[in-house]
Amino acid sequence: MSEEKEIKKDRAGITRRKFLKDAGIVVGGTAIGSAFFLSACGEKVEVTKTVTTTAPGATITTTAPGTPGGTATETKTVTKYICPVCSQEFDTLDALKAHFDSAHEKEAVVQDGVINITVNGQSHEIRVKPHWTLDYVLREVFGLTGVKRGCELGACGVCTVLMNDRPCLACLTLAIECGSKRIETIEGLAEDALNLHPIQQAFYEEFGAQCGYCSPGIVMRTKYLLSKTSSPTVSDIRASLSGNICKCGNYSNIIKSVQLAANKVKGG
Ligand code: FES
């Protein structure tokens, strides 16, 4: 008796890299335990299998019963566990774990990486761990503490820096992905303490900062806005800064500051 099996399924394609990024795990330089790894990545999927029996005399139970001696088709749904590394499938999680331990344990070792990164106009070659975020590297490696930490969830905007001239939430960006990127932080704006950037000067003059914690992110976001629109309307400003939260609620002064900054950048 010959049997032909066709497996139809949607492989989600969860990779170790995506897993690390999604989970933000802190395991630099160590092997990830298979139980931990697989509990996060070992997909439990329902697989629809079509089983076709062609051998003479075959009898199987189907919704449309097959005729002895003919061809019968049966469709049923089964649960499979998919290896996140090689996509091999297993009937049980234990079987997947055993496979992972024997075939992929070594591959799960997280490696450091070396990146070339340009920060405020200076290029650097640095070694980073795969789980280091950009805000961690900017603050702890480069000492740029103007990059603030708030929610670390991408919700408050205080960590905003410019990456290749576009706003970027440093708390959600892995440094290892920043190779060949240009990063600009608040420290890169002013020539010195007496020669502020026009945007900083405008925030100073219009009291755009109260406690000042959110200001670096707002100023960097403003720099991007003014690079796109030289005369932003109030609604442009509100829309652009909608991802930057000010705990002091100083929004009216922030909007005035951006308007003055636009005039100063234009040379007014
Ligand atoms: Fe990055 Fe809040 S700390 S968005």
Q: Is 134 in the pocket of ligand 1 (CB under 6 A)?
A: no
Flag whether pLDDT at 28 surpasses 70.
no
Residue 171 has pLDDT above 90, yes or no: yes
Which is more confident, 144 or 53? 144
Q: How far apart are CA 248 and CA 210, in angstroms?
A: 7
pLDDT of residue 74: 65
Nearest CA to ligand 1 atom 4: 154
Strongest mean pLDDT among 50-64, 109-123, 168-182: 168-182
| Per-position DSSP letters for 185-219, written without gaps between them | -GGGT-SBTTB--HHHHHHHHTT--SS-SSHHHHH
119's enclosing H/E stretch is: strand 113-119
pLDDT of residue 256: 98
pLDDT in the model for residue 84: 74
Q: To the nearest whole number, what is the mean pLDDT of the chain?
A: 79
Q: What is the pLDDT of residues 39-84, one digit of tens each?
A: 444 445 555 554 444 444 444 444 444 445 455 566 667 788 888 7
Of the listed ranges 49-53, 93-97, 144-148, the least confidently predicted one is: 49-53
Which ligand 1 atom minimizes the distance to the CA of 156? 2
Quote the tokens at residue 61.
């139970």
pLDDT score for 192? 86
| pLDDT at residue 240, rounded to an integer | 97
Quote the ligand 1 centre to 152 CA distance (angstroms).
4
Query: Residue 212: is its pLDDT beyond 60?
Result: yes
The three-state secondary structure class of 3 is strand
